Structure formats: structure tokens, C-alpha cells
Amino acid sequence: MANVVELIPEVNLIKDEKIRENLISAVNAIEKESGVDLAQFPLGHGITEPGSLMSHSRALVKMALAVADVIEEINNIKVNRDYLIAGCILHDIAIVYGRENEIKHSFTGAFLARDHNLPEEIVKIVATHAKEGELVKRSLEATIVYHVDFMHLEILTGEHYTQVIVRP
């Protein structure tokens, strides 16, 4: 079984001990339930390297924290870094169940976060990080996760993942 703290040491930046413990519990549970080794699991999107799912999540943590630094310094807007880090780590975790499920990975991941007593704000980050979240108002932290996720995927694959949705 992979050790999430070894794979993503930034877990230790989560100040709220309960969030940190529940996040680790959620990651351990999905690995146990799915039977996969997260340290070896590929991201998908044509990216097949072992471990690329967790390296993608770690990249998102680092990118999101950099964005938070800028937003706080330049715009004087406070970002909840505990929510941001947890959301980045959990955003794609349910991909281990497969991409062809009837329920999208963003929702399966949100259920996982809720089942492990993570704050509703983290549940919403996971639920709205993908295109399915386009029609709802995202929190500041969810907006950051959404954009760094698609930016990182586009950098890795060269494919454009965002879409324009015309709202009434």
C-alpha cells in the first residue's frame, strides 16, 4: 500500500489535524477498496507512466499553492490552504475505479470525501473540479483546483480540455 505522505509530502502542510487524518484515511480506503497501488497507478488521458496519477495530484498541490501565494499577496484574498491541498489530492482519486463508470469520478471522489468526514468545502472542490462543475458556482479554492488541473493536463498531453458552456 502506498503511503500518501511519501507520495505527496505536502499533506503535512495541512494544519487542521482532523482534515489531514481524514484525508489520509480516505486515500488509504480507496486504495484498499479498489485493490490498486496508488504509487503505480497511471493518470490516464494517454499518460500511462506508473505513478502518474499521484504525481499529477502532487503537481496540482504545488501549482495551487503558488496561485494561492499570488492571490493572497497581490489581491489580499485569503485562500484556505487546507481545503486547497486536500482538494488537489482527492480530485482525481476515484479514477482508480475506472473512467467508464456510470458515475463520474468527480462525484465518486466527492462521496469518498464525505464518507471520510471531510468538510463540505472539500467535497465540493472534488465534485466541481471537472467539466461537470461548469454549471455551479465554485468556491475560490475549487476555482483554483479546476484551472490548475486543466492547465497541468494540457501541458502534459498537448490537448485542450476546457470547453465553453453558454449560460442562459
Do 85 and 19 touch, CB atoms closer than 8 A?
no
What secondary structure does DSSP assign to 21-52, as a single string?
Answer: HHHHHHHHHHHHHHT--TTT---BTTB--TTH
Q: Which one is predicted more confidently, 111 or 130?
A: 111
Per-residue model confidence (pLDDT) at position 1: 67
Written as one letter, the residue type at 135 is L
Per-residue model confidence (pLDDT) at position 160: 67
Q: How many degrees, rounded to 5, is the angle at CA 10 between CA 5 and CA 14?
A: 95
Residue 105, classed as helix, strand or coil, is: helix
Kindly report which listed range (35-39, 77-81, 88-92, 128-132) carries the lowest average pLDDT score.
128-132
Q: Which residues, including other chains, have CB under 8 Å from residue 116's CB and lie 6 or more apart?
A: 22, 23, 25, 26, 29
Do 87 and 142 touch, CB atoms closer than 8 A?
yes
Quick check: 93 pLDDT over 60? yes
Highest mean pLDDT, choosing among 40-49, 52-61, 89-98: 52-61
Contacts of 109-118 with CB under 8 Å at 24 or more apart are 112/26, 112/29, 112/30, 113/26, 113/86, 115/26, 115/29, 116/22, 116/23, 116/25, 116/26, 116/29, 117/18, 117/22, 118/19, 118/22, 118/23, 118/26, 118/86, 118/90
Cα(105)–Cα(88) distance, integer angstroms: 14
Per-residue model confidence (pLDDT) at position 96: 85
Quick check: 42 pLDDT over 90? no
Quickly state the pLDDT bin for 82 (edges 50, 70, 90). Answer: very high
Q: Which one is predicted more confidently, 73 or 136?
A: 73
Q: Which residues, including other chains, have CB under 8 Å from residue 6's CB and lie 6 or more apart?
A: none
The answer to whether the predicted template modeling score (pTM) of the entire model surpasses 0.85 is: yes
